[in-house]
Amino acid sequence: MNSRKKSVRAAVAAEKKAAVKKEKPAYRMVTLVYEGIPGRQVFAAGTFNGWKPEKAMRDKDNNGIYRCQIKLVPGEYQYKFVVDGNWCLDAANPNFTPNEFGTLNSILVVDGK
């Protein structure tokens, strides 16, 4: 193979690699907060994790304020808190939408800026 073909292929490969880098989403760290009673098991579940209550929230000061951080791409997400097995709306968030079960989901909007 001549050097011109090699340099063209190298340039095309570099362009593809640069395009893939540009397409990577800009993640944002989001903190969810649930205020309740100390000693509970609290999880966050929503469209960001397939509605699986696996994202544990921690009450570091044992004062009933549970927090977790989630790395998300900009967009709109629906979520709920799961407290001792009970699904709860985020009472501190005025943004919500009806769901298919006849209850409400909280809405989280992650800004792209």
Q: How far apart are CA 89 and CA 5, in angstroms?
A: 60
Residue 32, pLDDT score: 98
Buried b (16+ CB within 10 A) or exposed e, 63-85: eeebebebebeeeebbbbbbbee
* pLDDT class of 112 with cuts at 50, 70, 90: confident
Q: Is the per-residue pLDDT at 10 higher than 80? A: no
Provide mean pLDDT across the span 18-23: 58
pLDDT on residue 84: 97
44, 79 in Cβ contact below 8 A? Answer: yes
Residue 101 — pLDDT band, cuts 50, 70, 90? Answer: very high
Contact of 44 with 57, CB cutoff 8 Å: yes
Choose the weakest-confidence range: 8-17, 32-41, 49-58: 8-17
Domain limits, the chain: 26-110
Fold category of 26-110 in CATH:
Immunoglobulin-like (2.60.40)
Residue 71's pLDDT band, with cuts at 50, 70 and 90, is very high
